[in-house]
């Protein structure tokens, strides 16, 4: 069901981009819009991990620099049947983690220094297993595509607003309206996909670690800390983090949330723990 929902949302994102391009430039505009999305996706496919690591100010590390972290990831990735990812640490006080990269062979698992300072070993295993769940589910590429397409819609909308042909043709009536509404719709679709994949990564992470309650405990700690400790990071990479790192999203409608509520995630993990015990 989750995969079907994601397919429908991606189809909606593509259709939105095509409609915007057509409204602003007719059939040629639609083709140009889809071409822009394709080029941007191609670029991000090969450069996403570098872009994300830079956005979080993260550095890759070796086993000698953080042996416990490295060994936990090595143990869990073997259990998950994955190649060893690159390991990174971001110098943020807010506890959090993310995975990035174009595929399992070029994946990065990164944690913040705040996470290492806060959680115990079982909770750390739960958090890392969640990120390996994203790799196993191939979520990084999906999230890169949705983020890129969302950015392309926004860029195209801005271009349309200032285009000298913006007021011409049969699309003149709806073009300006679409230019305003399309970026909002694209962002809502991007965030909806992100929420769906977080639930899936929680479930797979609980399976990999065998400790769903430890992951649930870690999520509660991360959420409490995120509410108190700000993180300076671009909104475009916020959906990649395990907990929404931007306090600015707090209190907004669920439509504009990059993540499901922590309470619901914890409840689902508790249900997994009960089911596993039976």
Report which listed range, 9-13, 171-175, 221-225, is most confident: 221-225
pLDDT digits (tens, 9 = 90+) for 95-119: 999 999 888 999 999 999 999 999 9
Among all residues, which ones are annotated catalytic? 131
Residue 248 pLDDT > 70: no
Determine the Cα–Cα distance for residues 56 and 89; give it in Å rounded to an integer: 9
Helix (H, G, I), strand (E, B) or coil at 172: helix
Which helix or strand (DSSP H or E) is residue 42 part of?
helix 2-55
* Chain segment 154-185, per-residue pLDDT in tens: 666 666 555 545 445 444 555 566 667 777 77
CB-count exposure of residue 140 (10 Å: 0-12, 13-18, 19+)? buried
Q: Indicate whether this model's pTM tops 0.85.
A: no
CA-to-CA distance for 211 and 204, rounded, in angstroms?
11
Largest CA distance in the chain: 66
Could you give the C-alpha distances from 28 to 38, 157, 173, 181, 224, in angstroms and in order? 15, 15, 18, 21, 49
pLDDT tens-place string over residues 64-96: 999 999 999 999 999 999 999 999 999 999 999
How many domains does the chain divide into?
1
3-class secondary-structure state, position 174: coil
Is the per-residue pLDDT at 208 higher than 60? Answer: yes
Residue 192: predicted pLDDT: 75
| DSSP assignment letter at 166 | T
Residues in the chain, how many? Answer: 278
Q: Are 214 and 129 in contact (CB under 8 A)?
A: no
Task: For the chain, give the mean pLDDT.
Answer: 81
Range of the domain at 219: 2-277
- Residue 112 near residue 128 (C-beta atoms within 8 A): no
């Amino acid at each position: 069901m989750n995969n079907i929902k994601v397919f429908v949302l991606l189809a909606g994102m593509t259709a939105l981009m095509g409609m915007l391009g057509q409204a602003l430039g007719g059939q040629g505009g639609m083709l140009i819009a889809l071409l822009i999305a394709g080029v941007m996706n191609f670029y991000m496919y090969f450069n996403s991990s570098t872009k994300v690591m830079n956005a979080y100010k993260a550095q890759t590390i070796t086993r000698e620099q953080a042996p416990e972290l490295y060994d936990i990831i090595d143990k869990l990735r073997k259990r998950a049947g994955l190649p060893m990812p690159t390991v990174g640490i971001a110098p943020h006080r807010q506890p959090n983690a993310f995975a990035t990269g174009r595929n399992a062979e070029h994946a990065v698992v990164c944690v913040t220094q705040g996470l290492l300072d806060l959680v115990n070993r079982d909770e750390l295993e739960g958090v890392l297993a969640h990120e390996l769940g994203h790799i196993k589910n191939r979520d990084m590429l999906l999230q890169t595509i949705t983020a890129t397409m969302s950015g392309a819609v926004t860029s195209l909308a801005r271009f349309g607003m200032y285009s000298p042909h913006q007021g011409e043709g049969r699309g003149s009536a709806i073009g300006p309206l679409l230019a305003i509404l399309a970026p909002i719709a694209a962002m809502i679709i991007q965030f909806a996909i992100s929420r769906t994949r977080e639930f899936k990564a929680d479930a797979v992470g609980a399976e990999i670690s065998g400790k769903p309650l430890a992951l649930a405990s870690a999520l509660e700690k991360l959420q409490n800390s995120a509410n108190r400790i700000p993180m300076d990071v671009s909104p475009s990479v916020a959906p990649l983090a395990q907990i929404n790192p931007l306090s600015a999203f707090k209190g907004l409608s669920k439509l504009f949330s990059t993540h499901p509520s922590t309470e619901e995630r914890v409840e689902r993990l508790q249900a997994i723990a009960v089911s596993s015990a039976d």
